[in-house]
Amino acid sequence: MAWILRALPERLALGAAYIVSRVVMHRNVGYQRYYGDAMRHMLGDSLSTAELGCWARRVSRSYARYWVDGIRLADASGYEIDSRMMVESGLEYLVESSKTGKGTILALVHMGGWEWGGAWIRRYGIPLAAVAEVLQPPKLYEWFVSSREKMGIDVIPLDKSAAGKVSTRLRQGGTVALICDRDITGQGVEVDLFGDKAILPPGPALLSLRTGASVLPAVVYLGPGGLHIATVGRPVQYSSTGDLRKDVKMYTQLIVSRLEPLIRRAPAQWYIFSRNWISQQGPEGSGSSLG
């Protein structure tokens, strides 16, 4: 499928991807339920069935474009990356953090097209690593790693050695991208997300506390005409109390609170097809995730 999307003219590739994404969203009740639940948390319980259907169609188009843009990015020229990326605000926070030598954690969510931001950052002169779930089958994961490496993004597999590798990278002054809106390992902490209790990963907070690295919330939105628009927030400030469990929970809450307005800005670009909230954990919450 990837080679087809690379070979087709961009408009045709997007059209084909839109159709596939719409069919997948329509047939998979789990995806619809998870995304609909996210929209109700974010926009209110008063959303009608028709409104939820509209949001579902919009997110399916965004998700289709995310895959097309991501696949084609591996073959993009430096000129194309530069011309289709715009940093709207906050570049100074990233530059300042990278100069301190203490490491930088970019706190991201499943939104927009962050890989374009990663490729651009690398061209700007800031090496970037990203932690990624080990996908199955192995050939899919190999393709994923290879394509990210072509973009200039080093991939650290999410396994038992991931925390050590990330810590080393941060202590060396490196920049690491961490996704913050889905707990994959089952070791998440309870925080408030859009007014309801959710379980989210503790990684950014824990690694920052251990290494002294800065945490910068960031999003790369899908813009008009194939443009990608990045915004980077100021570093999240937190002073340790000495109680690690308490610190991780409170620090994670601060990070989440800074990410919420960035998500609200583009609800149709939040690819939240998974169980996040504790209220989803009953029998009706079971199902698969798009990752």
**Per-residue pLDDT tens digits for 65-92:** 999 998 889 889 999 999 999 999 999 9
Asked whether residue 125 is domain-assigned, the answer is yes
Q: pLDDT band at 282, cuts 50/70/90?
A: low
Least confident range from 57-61, 83-87, 101-105, 148-152: namely 148-152
Q: At what angle do helices 10-27 and 49-73 cross, to 10 degrees?
A: 140
pLDDT at 285 over 50: no
In a domain, 156, yes or no: yes
DSSP label of 25? H
Instruction: Give the type of residue at 5.
Output: L
CA distance 258 to 158: 24
Q: Which of 104-108, 135-139, 183-187, 281-285 comes out lowest in average pLDDT?
A: 281-285
Query: What does the chain come to in residues?
Result: 291
Q: Structure tokens of 90?
A: 């906050």
Q: Which pLDDT belongs to residue 3?
A: 63
Q: Which residues contact 238 (CB under 8 A, 6 or more apart)?
A: 205, 208, 247, 250, 251, 254
DSSP β-ladder status, 189-193 and 196-200: antiparallel
User: Is 105 part of a structural domain of the chain?
Assistant: yes
Task: Tell me the three state secondary structure of residue 137.
Answer: coil
DSSP 28-88: -HHHHHHHHHHHHHHH-TT--HHHHHHHHHHHHHHHHHHHHHHHHHTT--HHHHHHHEEEE
> How many C-beta atoms lie closer than 10 Å to residue 279's C-beta?
14
Domain count, the chain: 1
Structural domain range at position 84: 2-285
Angstrom distance (rounded) from CA 255 to CA 250: 9
Residue 220, SS3 per DSSP: strand
- The lowest-confidence range among 18-22, 197-201, 284-288 is 284-288
How far is it, in rounded angstroms, from Cα 220 to Cα 200? 20
What pLDDT, on the 0 to 100 scale, is given for residue 7?
73
Question: pLDDT averaged over the chain?
Answer: 89
What would the mean pLDDT of 275-291 be, rounded to a whole number?
Answer: 57
